């Protein structure tokens, strides 16, 4: 790495640390002169170099026409500062909702951009670190909803980091930008890891379906009589009413509930356990099984459906994190 690159990277790190100290987590922000940064872009630096060259040329040859051109270009640059800064100035940004996803997937974050009166704002870029920017334009007064993708790298509460809002409108000579840090209630689930060798099914006691056995005594219903069956099971009342020859069916209760249990994965670290339990939850949901979840100090009663799936995955995502957040809030 050449010395210039090292200097540039060191400057960026120090600038990022300075930004992190200045940026706090908030629920809504209004972009004003305290929040906006503005600086010439690469094209802007080239434009300044051109104006400087014209100035030297006009001074050397004492050419008034070149002086006029130089002043016009310089005036254009100064005016563009006002318009570029105005593209973001006065804009309000607030989070609406965020999508819960598995670790490694991009979460869809819905944001609301609002302005008090109708004003055209062009080429506004919104992006989280590591994601593609979203370009939007505003015209009408009121709220405009946009969806920005946020990469996820770890489980827990969704924290995509700083949202960068910038624009180079209208001439591309200057770049105005701001950093915003929002808090989201969405969760990042552990990425499922297939585990065919193990089973998280733990049988318990409870009500469910019946399995037919010869020695059972719980009446289930009637079925068509088959030759060779015991006459004790014949439904004589139905036969006497000339309803045909039927056989009584008996069964034993069998608990079909599945438990996705923390203790089934002893010997693994926390993240490995959670990843396999996440896969088990998805498998149970895809097969429409009734399943419950057991974590240290937490038990989610057996159920099924989308709401139950999200509740189970959220508990897996926040395992070991909710306690830390609660301690921080109590200390504060």
The whole-model pTM stands at 0.72
Q: What is d(CA 310, CA 312) in angstroms, rounded to the nearest whole number?
A: 5
DSSP state at residue 106: P
Per-residue pLDDT reduced to its tens digit, 178-234:
999 998 889 999 999 987 655 444 444 344 444 444 445 556 567 776 776 776 777
pLDDT at 113: 94
pLDDT at 220: 59
Dump the DSSP string for 224-270. E--TTS-GGGB-HHHHHTTS--EEEEEEEEE---EEEEGGGGTTS-H
Per-residue pLDDT reduced to its tens digit, 29-56:
999 988 899 999 999 999 999 999 999 9
Cis peptide before 170 (omega within 30 of 0): yes
Q: What is d(CA 324, CA 315) in angstroms, rounded to the nearest whole number?
A: 14
Per-residue pLDDT reduced to its tens digit, 241-295:
767 777 776 654 445 678 888 988 888 889 999 999 999 999 999 988 899 999 9
Q: Which two tokens stand for residue 208?
A: 């469910």
Distances (CA, A) of 57 to 43, 64, 74: 21, 11, 15
């Amino acid at each position: 790495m050449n010395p210039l690159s090292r200097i540039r990277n060191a400057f960026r790190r120090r600038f990022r640390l300075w930004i992190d100290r200045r940026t706090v987590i908030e629920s809504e922000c209004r972009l004003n002169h305290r929040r906006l940064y503005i600086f010439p872009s690469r094209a802007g630096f080239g434009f300044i170099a051109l104006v400087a060259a014209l100035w030297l040329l006009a001074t050397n040859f004492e050419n008034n026409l070149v002086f006029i051109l130089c002043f016009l270009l310089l005036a254009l640059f100064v005016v563009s500062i006002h318009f570029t800064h105005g593209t973001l100035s006065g804009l309000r940004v607030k989070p609406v909702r965020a999508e819960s996803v598995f670790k490694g997937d991009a979460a869809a974050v819905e944001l609301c951009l609002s302005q008090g009166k109708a004003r055209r704002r062009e080429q506004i870029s919104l992006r989280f670190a590591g994601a593609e920017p979203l370009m939007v334009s505003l015209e009408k007064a009121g709220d405009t909803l946009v969806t920005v993708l946020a990469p996820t790298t770890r489980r827990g509460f969704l924290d995509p980091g700083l949202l960068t809002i910038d624009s180079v409108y209208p001439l591309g000579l200057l770049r105005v930008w701001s950093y915003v840090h929002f808090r989201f209630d969405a969760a990042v689930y552990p990425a499922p890891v297939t585990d065919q060798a193990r089973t998280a099914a733990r049988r318990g006691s409870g009500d469910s379906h019946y399995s037919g056995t010869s020695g059972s005594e719980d009446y289930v219903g009637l079925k068509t009589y088959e030759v060779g069956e015991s006459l004790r099971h014949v439904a004589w009342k139905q036969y006497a009413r000339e309803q045909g020859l039927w056989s009584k069916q008996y069964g034993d209760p069998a608990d079909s509930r599945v438990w996705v249990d923390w203790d089934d994965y002893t010997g693994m670290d926390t993240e490995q356990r959670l990843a396999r339990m996440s896969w088990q939850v998805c498998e149970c949901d895809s097969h429409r099984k009734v399943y419950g979840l057991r974590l240290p100090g937490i038990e989610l009663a057996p159920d099924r459906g989308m709401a139950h799936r999200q509740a189970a995955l959220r508990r897996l995502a926040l395992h070991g994190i909710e306690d830390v957040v609660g301690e921080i809030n109590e200390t504060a």
